[in-house]
Structure 1
Amino acid sequence: MAALTLTTLPVDGGASLTDNLVAAAGGGDTAPTGSGRFLVVANGSGGSITATLATPGTVSGLDVDNAAVVVPAGKTSIIPLSRVFAGTNGRAAITYSGVTSLTVGAFELGT
């Protein structure tokens, strides 16, 4: 899995999400989790792509289902990177149903 670099976006604007996107890795990506952090998935392909975020934790001994977000063709989705997705390394593990024409980025809100 490729490690996405976290980009800080100033809350007063002046930064572009799309300028900071990179090609999604075929084997998946990881991204840091936490308050104010989010994943942007831009699907430039001709069909829908599903981004799946692993949820490694449990509640009362029961596994938590992974989060699957369907990104329609030509659309962009913003997915919160809450701590529920954090693995032992503090990063979310993200896989994709396809990576052709798929770009992604990890962001956080700054000052």
Structure 2
Amino acid sequence: MAALNATTAATLGGLADLAGAAVAATALGDTAPTGSGLFLAVINGGAATRTATIATPGTVNGHAIADATLAVPAGKTGLIPLTGLFRGSSDRAAITYDAVTSVTVAVIKLGA
């Protein structure tokens, strides 16, 4: 697993440069910081829908919380907030992908 770092995405005319902050998704998955204002961006440059899964390690009344998934259609970008709900024992979120060909990812905090 690769450890993704949060990047403040530069904005130009109100548009965030997500692609400029992105790196290739790792086949074995990635980890990311969690917290207020942080988002995982998944950019799918491929020809098929790709799904990112974020582990949800907590429980409610002893029952497991289902992992979160983000399905990103071909040629699109998806965003999901990295709230404390996803914080694992390493204080980071664990992220896996159904495939990584033509998939780039970034942990972003939008800036002015």
TM-score, normalized by length of structure 1?
0.92
Per the TM alignment, residue 9 of structure 1 is displaced from its structure 2 partner at its CA by: 3.4
CA–CA separation in structure 1 for the residues paired with 2:95 and 2:69: 10
Give the superposition deviation at 1:19: 0.5
2-structure distance, mates of 1:100, 1:91: 24
Over 3 Å off, 4+ runs: none
Equivalent position of 1:18 in the other structure = 19
**Unaligned 5+ residue runs, structure 1?**
none
% of aligned pairs identical? Answer: 55
**Structure 1 position 90, deviation (Å):** 1.5
Q: Which runs of structure 2 are paired with 1:30-109 in the superposition (5 Å)?
A: 30-109=31-110
Alpha-carbon distance between aligned partners in 1 of 2:60 and 2:111, rounded to the nearest angstrom = 31
Which residue identity does 1:56 align to in structure 2? Answer: P
2:3 is aligned with 1:6: no
Unaligned 5+ residue runs, structure 2? none
Q: Which amino acid aligns with 2:5?
A: T
Give the Å deviation of 1:65.
0.3
Report deviation, 1:33.
0.3
Amino acid at match of 1:84: L
